[in-house]
Amino acid sequence: MAEPVGAWWARRQFSRGVDVPYAVGTYREAWAPFPVLIRQYHPELNGGIVLSQIPPAAEVLLQWQCDAGHIFVATPDEQRNRPGRERRRSVWCPDCLAAARPRSVRPAQAPAVPPERRRLDLCPRTPDLPVGEPFLSECAPKPASAVEARLRSDLADRLAFTPGLNAVRVRRPFFDHLEVWPDILLPELRVAIEYDSTGRHGLEHVGQREDADRRKDRALRSAGWEVMRIRTGRLEKLGPHDLQLSGITRRTCDAILDELRAIRGPLLVDAYAR
Residue 93: closest CA among 78, 107, 114: 78
Specify the pLDDT at position 178: 96
What average pLDDT does the chain have?
A: 90
Mean pLDDT of 147-167: 94
Distance of CA 85 to the CA centre of its chain: 11
d(CA 37, CA 31): 8
- Nearest alpha-carbon partner for 54 in 30, 34, 78: 30
> How much is the average pLDDT of 247-260?
93
Task: Identify the weakest region by mean pLDDT among 44-53, 82-91, 111-120, 248-257.
Answer: 111-120
Phi and psi, residue 223, nearest 5°: -95, 5
Average pLDDT (131-136) is: 97
Separation between Cα atoms, residue 16 and residue 150, nearest integer Å: 50
Say if residues 252 and 240 touch (Cβ distance below 8 Å). Answer: no
Per-residue confidence band for 86, with pLDDT thresholds at 50, 70 and 90: low
Asked whether 75 and 62 are in contact (CB, 8 A), the reply is: yes
Please tell me the distance from the alpha carbon of residue 234 to that of residue 237, in angstroms, as a whole number: 9
pTM: 0.77
Query: What is the rounded CA–CA span in Å between residue 64 and residue 69?
Result: 9
Q: Give pLDDT, residue 247.
A: 86
Contact (CB, 8 A) for 157 and 122 = no
CB of 61 closer than 8 Å to CB of 73? yes
175-191 pLDDT tens trace: 999 999 999 999 999 99
How far CA 248 is from CA of 159, 169, 254, in Å, comes to 17, 29, 11
pLDDT of residue 116: 43
* CATH T-level topology, domain 134-271: Endonuclease; Chain A (3.40.960)
* Cβ within 8 Å of residue 59, ≥6 positions away: 1, 2, 3, 8, 75
Burial of 225 (0-12, 13-18, 19+ CB in 10 A): buried
Q: Which residue has the higher pLDDT, 217 or 202?
A: 217
Specify the domain boundaries for CATH 3.40.960 within the chain.
134-271
Q: What is the pLDDT of residues 4-42, one digit of tens each?
A: 999 999 999 999 999 999 999 999 999 999 999 999 999
Name the residue among 4, 3, 2, 9 with its Cα closest to residue 54.
9
Query: Span 248-260, mean pLDDT?
Result: 94
Residue 208's pLDDT is 84
Quick one: average pLDDT of 113-137?
A: 79
